[in-house]
């Protein structure tokens, strides 16, 4: 294991010597004095007082006796004030702001009170407390405050930057109404904003503007709204639209959006409409591009020919990669080679295309060329690097670094009040606030400082900081920080009880949440393994586990117990296969069944490359590569990636003592090439 050693204690005499011989040391020593680590009793008292403060009033004060020197004490009063925001006055808020200038809770309190003053339409106090740069909603409230005082609007000064945005908060509606009444929203300006909204896919923005257009223009704008909201419905009537510039715009929008959902239906509509409308060359290109691309994601017959036939000006990195994917699905190795070689040099250098270029060379009998390319790719600790190493039968290239001791920088960080607040907020279970304090404390930090801070967080069990902070250069090789072994959360025993590999469960956690135990997605997936409450409830019932509701998924132990069981369910459905089960975990098992029905004869590497969803395709690659890293971290070697990526339909057996394992080595590289060779596993997105 490559574990960072704990910091050495620094004696007083050593600090004295540093002061005598180093100006830097002198400056650092001056900052080293900091408060002792808060006690468990203080933290318990703070949690109790904070819960009371969130209910408003002054009841928290009696619970906070003895906490006046506790670093988070100001959060208590701010929480109570925010709860009572509709009852408090400006004096109470300004008193707090004066006492804690620059603090995050002070900023939040100012923001909340300004919103309340706007609700009250107390514009005099609002203007007295307003500061620019607090977001569009409060910016519009500030304009409304000026209007309430008899002021007027200047389009260029007050509205131009807002007008350029395709969507605005409701707080801006009154200001835009006033701008219209002043005659500032000319027809040209309205159409400029409509065009921006159309390009951004914002039909609601267009709908708000329709009533301000001249009567002759309203039907045209409504067609843009329909094209965005219901492209099939728009195309059903498009043959009756006059052939005008705006109607061609609406038809183009509808065709390109329908192609994404129903490529065959879009194709039929295109055949009917291309002679009705005098589409511009650019519009025809947009439509043909969308049809080619989404026929490709459906792997339709003729998709490859459509992509090849696209004009060079309409080609993008996405269309070029899909030309390769369609060729891979057909195992047309000549076309795979040609498609990759048609890419720009920068795109060809992607590890995926380097690997499949070598696969194509091998299939076409050019083994020596393929081997040279695989050797280069096998020097990287990536999904395709590991696959290349397996093809060659050589060790995996993993070059770990250990963070060097830097006690002076560490002590200086521990004297940073904002960073100490971040650590303390995390310790008392307020991770969202902790991340904000962390970001503020380290916003101008250099890479060395970020690495040391990440190590300090890691020692406190705050693992996600390293995942996000150590994202480039040599820092990628700090595997002990970027791929933590959080045994206290029960990953290993829970995975074994569920009948799955612990390293795979670790890989899922790392890919799903990057170790943010409070992660919550737009689909309401929660916690380390990102389970939706309804799914978690079913898993708990099926496995006889306790279920206390959706919020219990933020408890790591509960989340991992349920998440590993759900992983086991997915594995059971797909012959134990961890790579297919990973795809099902991300996209749903029914989707995977559809893909298997269409392309279930492909080898695993080709199947992954032809998964239609970019998110799922990259997710499977991430999880499987992470599993290799975690295998090495736990055992010093790794089960070959190709062993875990068993053939479709072939049962997968868990590794045992007789399973062949792949050694790990660090290839000799020139120092300048280390960052490139180590730009390995990308960070997950929570």
Which of 321, 377, 512, 618 does the annotation list as catalytic?
Answer: 512
Nearest C-alpha neighbor of 571 from the set 495, 631, 511, 639? 495
Predicted confidence at residue 675, as pLDDT, reads 31
Predicted confidence at residue 608, as pLDDT, reads 98
Predicted confidence at residue 35, as pLDDT, reads 52
Predicted confidence at residue 37, as pLDDT, reads 87
| One-character DSSP codes across 517-582 | TT-B-TT--BTTTTB-HHHHHHHHHHHT-----GGGGGSHHHHHHHHHHHHHHHHHHTTT-HHHHH
Give me the domain span that covers residue 609.
487-677
Rounded to 5 degrees, φ, ψ at 517 are: -75, -10
Nearest C-alpha neighbor of 376 from the set 402, 348, 401? 348
Nearest C-alpha neighbor of 57 from the set 91, 93, 82, 75? 82
Final residue before a domain boundary, out of 267, 287, 315 = 315
User: In total, how many domains does the chain have?
Assistant: 2
Question: Does any domain span residue 564?
Answer: yes
DSSP state of 489: G
- Residues near 276 by Cβ (< 8 Å), separated by ≥ 6? 238, 239, 243
Going from the C-alpha of 449 to that of each of 14, 53, 409, 470, 476, the distances in angstroms are 22, 35, 7, 11, 15
- Residues near 200 by Cβ (< 8 Å), separated by ≥ 6? 166, 167
Going from the C-alpha of 213 to that of each of 185, 209, 238, 239, the distances in angstroms are 9, 7, 21, 24
pLDDT tens, residue by residue, 629-668: 999 999 999 999 999 999 999 999 999 999 999 999 998 5
CA angle, 675 then 677 then 679, to 5°: 65
Question: Does any domain span residue 664?
Answer: yes
Final residue before a domain boundary, out of 295, 315, 335 = 315
Question: Does any domain span residue 465?
Answer: no
- Residues near 440 by Cβ (< 8 Å), separated by ≥ 6? 104, 418
* DSSP-based helix, strand, coil % in the chain, nearest 5: 65, 0, 30
Rounded to 5 degrees, φ, ψ at 98 are: -70, -35
Predicted confidence at residue 488, as pLDDT, reads 66
Instruction: Look at residue 396 and give its three-state secondary structure.
Output: strand
User: How many Cα atoms are found within 13 Å in the side-chain-facing hemisphere of 563?
Assistant: 37
Alpha helices in 164-262 (DSSP H): 173-181, 187-199, 203-209, 215-229, 231-237, 245-261
- CATH code for the domain of 672: 1.10.530.10
User: Which residue ranges of the chain lie beneath pLDDT 50?
Assistant: 1-34, 669-686
Question: Does any domain span residue 354?
Answer: no
Predicted confidence at residue 25, as pLDDT, reads 37
Question: Does any domain span residue 203?
Answer: no
Nearest C-alpha neighbor of 201 from the set 159, 229, 172? 229
DSSP state of 373: H
Question: Does any domain span residue 68?
Answer: no
Final residue before a domain boundary, out of 273, 289, 315 = 315
Question: Does any domain span residue 190?
Answer: no
Nearest C-alpha neighbor of 635 from the set 667, 665, 661, 666? 661
CA atoms 219, 225, 226, 232: torsion sign: positive
Rounded to a whole number, what is the largest CA-CA distance in the chain?
89
352 is catalytic: no
Question: Does any domain span residue 560?
Answer: yes
Predicted confidence at residue 36, as pLDDT, reads 74
Q: Buried b vs exposed e over 8-27: b needs ≥16 C-beta within 10 Å?
A: eeeeeeebeebeeeeeebee
Rounded to 5 degrees, φ, ψ at 29 are: -60, -35
The DSSP bridge partners found for residue 662 are 638
Angstrom distance (rounded) from CA 537 to CA 540: 5
Do 630 and 506 touch, CB atoms closer than 8 A? yes
Predicted confidence at residue 32, as pLDDT, reads 37
Q: In this structure, which long-range contacts are made by residues 335-339, counting pairs with CB atoms below 8 Å and at least 24 apart in sequence?
A: 335/304, 336/360, 337/361, 337/364
Instruction: Look at residue 331 and give its three-state secondary structure.
Output: coil
């Amino acid at each position: 294991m490559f574990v960072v050693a704990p910091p050495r204690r620094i004696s007083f005499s050593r600090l004295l010597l540093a002061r005598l011989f180093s100006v830097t040391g002198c400056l650092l020593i001056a900052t080293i004095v900091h408060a002792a680590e808060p006690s468990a009793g203080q933290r318990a008292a703070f949690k109790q007082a904070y819960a009371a403060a969130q209910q408003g009033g002054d009841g928290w004060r009696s619970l906070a006796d003895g906490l006046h020197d506790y670093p988070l004490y100001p959060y208590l009063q701010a929480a109570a004030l925010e709860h009572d925001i509709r009852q408090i006055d400006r004096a109470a808020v300004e008193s707090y702001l004066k006492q804690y200038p620059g603090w995050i809770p002070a900023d939040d309190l100012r923001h909340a009170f300004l919103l309340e003053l706007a609700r009250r339409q107390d514009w005099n106090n609002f203007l007295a407390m307003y500061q620019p740069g607090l977001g569009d909603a409060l910016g519009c409230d500030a304009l409304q405050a000026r209007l309430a005082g008899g002021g007027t609007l200047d389009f260029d000064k007050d509205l131009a930057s807002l007008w350029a945005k395709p969507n605005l908060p409701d707080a801006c509606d009154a200001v835009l109404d006033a701008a219209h009444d002043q005659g500032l929203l000319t027809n040209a300006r309205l159409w400029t904003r409509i065009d921006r909204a159309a390009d951004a896919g914002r039909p609601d923005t267009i709908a708000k503007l329709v009533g301000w257009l001249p009567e002759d223009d309203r039907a045209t704008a409504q067609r843009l709204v329909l094209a965005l909201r219901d492209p099939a419905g728009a195309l059903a009537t498009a043959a009756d639209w006059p052939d005008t510039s705006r109607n061609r715009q609406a038809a183009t929008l509808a065709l390109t959006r329908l192609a994404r959902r129903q490529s065959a239906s879009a194709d039929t509509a295109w055949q009917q409409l291309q002679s009705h409308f005098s589409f511009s060359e650019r519009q025809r290109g947009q439509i043909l591009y969308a049809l080619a691309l989404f026929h490709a994601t459906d792997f339709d017959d003729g998709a490859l020919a459509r992509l090849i036939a696209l004009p060079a000006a309409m080609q993008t990195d996405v269309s070029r990669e899909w030309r390769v994917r369609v060729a891979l699905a057909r195992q047309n190795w000549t076309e795979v080679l040609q498609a990759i070689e048609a890419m720009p040099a920068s795109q060809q250098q992607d590890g995926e295309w380097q690997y499949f270029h070598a696969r194509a060379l091998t299939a076409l009998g050019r083994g020596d060329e393929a081997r040279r390319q695989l050797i280069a790719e096998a020097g990287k600790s990536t999904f395709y690097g590991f696959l290349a190493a397996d093809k060659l039968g050589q060790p995996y290239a993993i070059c770990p670094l250990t963070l060097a001791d830097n006690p002076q920088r560490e002590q200086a960080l521990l004297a940073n009040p904002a960073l100490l607040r971040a650590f303390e907020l995390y310790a008392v279970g307020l991770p969202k606030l902790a991340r904000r304090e962390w970001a503020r404390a380290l916003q101008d930090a250099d890479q060395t400082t970020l690495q040391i801070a990440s190590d300090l967080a890691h020692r406190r069990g705050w693992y996600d900081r390293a995942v996000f902070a150590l994202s480039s250069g040599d820092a990628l090789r700090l595997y002990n920080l970027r791929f933590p072994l959080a045994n206290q959360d029960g990953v290993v025993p829970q995975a074994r009880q569920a009948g799955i590999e612990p390293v795979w469960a670790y890989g899922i956690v790392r890919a799903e949440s990057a170790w943010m135990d409070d992660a919550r997605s737009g689909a309401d997936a929660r916690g380390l393994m990102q389970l939706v409450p309804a799914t978690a409830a079913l898993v708990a019932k099926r496995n006889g586990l306790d279920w206390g509701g959706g919020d219990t998924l933020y408890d790591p132990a509960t989340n991992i117990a349920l998440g590993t069981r759900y992983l086991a369910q997915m594995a059971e459905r797909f012959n134990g296969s961890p790579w297919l089960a990973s795809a099902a975990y991300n996209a749903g098992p029914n989707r995977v069944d559809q893909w298997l029905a269409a392309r279930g004869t492909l080898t695993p590497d080709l199947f992954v490359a032809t998964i239609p969803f970019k998110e799922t395709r990259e997710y499977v690659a991430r999880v499987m590569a992470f599993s290799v890293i975690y295998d090495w971290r736990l055992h010093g070697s790794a089960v070959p990636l190709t062993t875990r990526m068993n053939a479709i339909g072939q049962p997968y057996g868990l590794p045992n003592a007789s399973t062949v394992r792949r050694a790990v080595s660090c290839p000799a590289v020139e120092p300048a090439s280390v960052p490139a060779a180590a730009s390995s596993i990308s960070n997950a997105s929570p």
